[in-house]
Homo-oligomer: A and B are copies of this chain.
Amino acid sequence: MIELAILGVLREQDLHGYELRKRICEVTGARSAISFGSLYPALARLEASGSVKTVEAIPSGPTKPAPMTGSLSAETSMFRARRRTVKPARGGRGRKVYGITSAGEHVLESLLDDPTLDDKSFHIKVAFCRYLTPARRLELFERRRARVADQLIAARTTRRRTGERLDSYLRSLREHDHESTERDLAWLDRLIAEERALLAAPAEPVDEGPPPVLDPTGGSPS
């Protein structure tokens, strides 16, 4: 999943590892913070497989290599580096700026499509689902919905079986859990409804160019 996060962030802008990590934490939330010990090897793998490449740290390129970190010191640092004409950009052990390749973009799509749908994976996938076509995005939401619905049913069954012989903490835990799951389900339903509306009425070209395929064969699959 770490490759998904990396590619998802790089898809928006070129970054070096250190900044990349910060962006990943920002985007996917603190709960899925990753460590450098897994980030750098992952970047090396992705580079070896051709999904990302190192790009020169162009001072003002097409993808804004100085990404307004918000951190004062970092910005200052970048500024100085630029003033010094980026000369240590790849000396001995300088910073390496990575960019996504077109192969990488395909890998990103296939990672978004892969069937793993646990809590964490889904979270990350939603964060980058804008890179999916509306149809595939809808499918992603619906598969997750099915899974959460299953969990809910299973939980209800278990509750019936174990009856009321639970201590108060376990009962409170279960109740809170159950409510959370129901809220998740409601959220997914909202996402799905919005996505369906988008698919049904693709009036404006939304983002990357969604397929406005709208065959009038009368098929309205629910």
Bound CA–CA A210/B170 (angstroms): 12
Query: Would you call A168 an interface residue if the criterion is a C-beta within 8 Å of the partner chain's C-beta atoms?
Result: yes
Partner-binding segment picked from A50-58, A88-96, A101-109, A126-134: A126-134
Is the beta-carbon distance between B177 and A180 smaller than 8 angstroms?
no
Contact of A158 among B26, B158, B176 (CB under 8 A): B26
Query: What B residues does A151 contact at CB under 8 A?
Result: 30-31
Query: Would you call A117 an interface residue if the criterion is a C-beta within 8 Å of the partner chain's C-beta atoms?
Result: no
Is the beta-carbon distance between B127 and A169 smaller than 8 angstroms?
yes
| Least CB separation from A162: chain B residue | B26
Bound CA–CA A151/B29 (angstroms): 9
A176-B187 in contact given A30-B151, A155-B30 (Cβ < 8 Å) = yes
Is the beta-carbon distance between B31 and A169 smaller than 8 angstroms?
no
Contact of A168 among B158, B162, B179, B210 (CB under 8 A): B210
- Nearest Cβ on chain B to A75's Cβ, whole angstroms: 12
| Least CB separation from A175: chain B residue | B187
Query: Which chain A residues in 102-155 approach chain B with CB under 8 Å?
Result: 119, 123, 126-127, 129-130, 151, 154-155
Size of the A side of the interface (Cβ < 8 Å), in residues, is: 38
Bound CA–CA A179/B162 (angstroms): 30
Fill in one digit per residue for A1-39: 1 if any B CB lies within 8 Å of its CB, else 0: 000000000000000000000000011011100000000
Is the beta-carbon distance between B211 and A173 smaller than 8 angstroms?
no
Bound CA–CA A41/B14 (angstroms): 45
- Nearest Cβ on chain B to A151's Cβ, whole angstroms: 6
Bound CA–CA A146/B191 (angstroms): 31
Query: What B residues does A183 contact at CB under 8 A?
Result: 176, 179-180, 183
Query: Would you call A172 an interface residue if the criterion is a C-beta within 8 Å of the partner chain's C-beta atoms?
Result: yes
| Least CB separation from A171: chain B residue | B210
Query: Would you call A84 an interface residue if the criterion is a C-beta within 8 Å of the partner chain's C-beta atoms?
Result: no
Is the beta-carbon distance between A170 and B27 smaller than 8 angstroms?
yes
When A and B form their complex, which 4 residue pairs have the shortest distance between CB atoms, in order from nearest?
A70-B161, A130-B167, A176-B187, A126-B173
Some 17 contacts from A to B, beta carbons below 8 A apart, are A26-B158, A26-B162, A29-B174, A30-B154, A31-B151, A70-B161, A126-B172, A127-B170, A130-B167, A167-B208, A167-B210, A168-B210, A169-B191, A172-B187, A172-B190, A176-B187, A180-B183
